[in-house]
Amino acid sequence: MVGKIIAVHSYKGGTGKTSLSVNLAASYARRGKKVCLMDLDFRAPSLHAIFKGQKAEYWLNDYLNGVCEIDKVLVDATKDHGNDGKLMVALANPSTEAIRDMTAKDRKWEMKALGRLLSLRSSLLTDGGLDYIIFDTSPGLQYSSINAIVTADVVLVVTSLDASDINGSQRMTSELYDLFEKKTGILVNKVIADYLSSEKEQKKFDKHIKSIHQLPILATIPCYCEVLRAAGNFIFTEERPDHPFTETLDELAAKVEKF
Amino acid sequence: MAAYRKLEGKSTQLLEKIRENLEQLNAKIDVMIEIQKHGQRAIPEDLPEALDVMTLLSLPDHLRKTAVTLCKLEEATADAVAGQTKRARAVESGYLNQLVVMGYLKKERRGRKAYFFVDKEG
The answer to whether residue A246 neighbours chain B at the CB level (below 8 Å) is: no
What pLDDT is recorded for position B49? 72
- Residue B79 inside a domain? The answer is yes
Q: How confident is the model at residue B4 (pLDDT cuts 50, 70, 90)?
A: confident
Interface test with A, best of B47, B53, B117 (most A CBs within 10 A): B53
The answer to whether residue B73 neighbours chain A at the CB level (below 8 Å) is: no
- Residue B102 inside a domain? The answer is yes
What pLDDT is recorded for position A84? 80
CATH number reported for the structural domain that contains residue B48 in this entry: 1.10.10
Q: How far is B86 from chain A (nearest CA, A)?
A: 14
The answer to whether residue B61 neighbours chain A at the CB level (below 8 Å) is: yes
Q: In what order do the strands lie in the sheet with A4-9?
A: A75-76, A86-90, A34-40, A132-137, A4-9, A154-159, A183-191, A217-222
The answer to whether residue B65 neighbours chain A at the CB level (below 8 Å) is: yes
- Residue B27 inside a domain? The answer is yes
Chain B hits for A179, CB-CB cut-off 8 Å, are 57, 61, 64
Which residues constitute the domain of residue B109? 2-117
Q: Would you kindly state where each structural domain of chain A is located, as residue ranges?
A: 4-258
Mean predicted lDDT score pLDDT of chain A: 92
Question: Above 50 in pLDDT, residue A134?
Answer: yes
Q: How far is A107 from chain B (nearest CA, A)?
A: 6
The answer to whether residue A146 neighbours chain B at the CB level (below 8 Å) is: yes
Q: How confident is the model at residue B25 (pLDDT cuts 50, 70, 90)?
A: confident
In chain A, % of residues over pLDDT 90? 76
Domains identified in chain B, total number = 1
Query: Of A110, A121, A175, which has the smallest distance from its Cβ to B52's Cβ?
Result: A110
What pLDDT is recorded for position A38? 98
What pLDDT is recorded for position A82? 59
**Which residues are bridge partners to A219 per DSSP?**
A187
Query: Of A111, A147, A175, which has the smallest distance from its Cβ to B50's Cβ?
Result: A111
Question: Above 50 in pLDDT, residue A5?
Answer: yes
What pLDDT is recorded for position A153? 97
The arithmetic mean of pLDDT across residues A207-212, rounded, is 87
The answer to whether residue B68 neighbours chain A at the CB level (below 8 Å) is: yes
Interface test with A, best of B49, B51, B52, B106 (most A CBs within 10 A): B52
What pLDDT is recorded for position A53? 78
What pLDDT is recorded for position B28? 67
The answer to whether residue A107 neighbours chain B at the CB level (below 8 Å) is: yes
Question: Above 80 in pLDDT, residue A219?
Answer: yes
Highest mean pLDDT: which of B16-20, B32-36, B58-62? B58-62
The arithmetic mean of pLDDT across residues A57-85, rounded, is 90
Number of C-beta neighbours around residue B103 at 10 A? 18
Better-scored residue on pLDDT, A145 or B120: A145
Query: Of A110, A118, A179, which has the smallest distance from its Cβ to B72's Cβ?
Result: A118
pLDDT tens digits for range B37-72 = 655 444 444 445 789 999 999 999 999 999 999 999
- Residue B122 inside a domain? The answer is no
Judge: A176–B50 Cβ closer than 8 Å, yes or no: no
| CATH number belonging to domain A4-258 | 3.40.50.300
pLDDT tens digits for range A138-162 = 999 999 999 999 999 999 999 998 8
Strands A75-76 and A86-90: antiparallel
What pLDDT is recorded for position B42? 46
Better-scored residue on pLDDT, A193 or B42: A193
A11 and A139 in contact (C-beta within 8 Å)?
Answer: yes
Judge: B65–A176 Cβ closer than 8 Å, yes or no: no
Better-scored residue on pLDDT, A7 or A209: A7
- Residues A16 and A27: their CA atoms lie apart, in Å, by 16
The arithmetic mean of pLDDT across residues A16-35, rounded, is 95
In chain B, % of residues over pLDDT 90? 54
Judge: A111–B120 Cβ closer than 8 Å, yes or no: yes
H/E run at residue B7:
helix B2-38
Mean predicted lDDT score pLDDT of chain B: 83
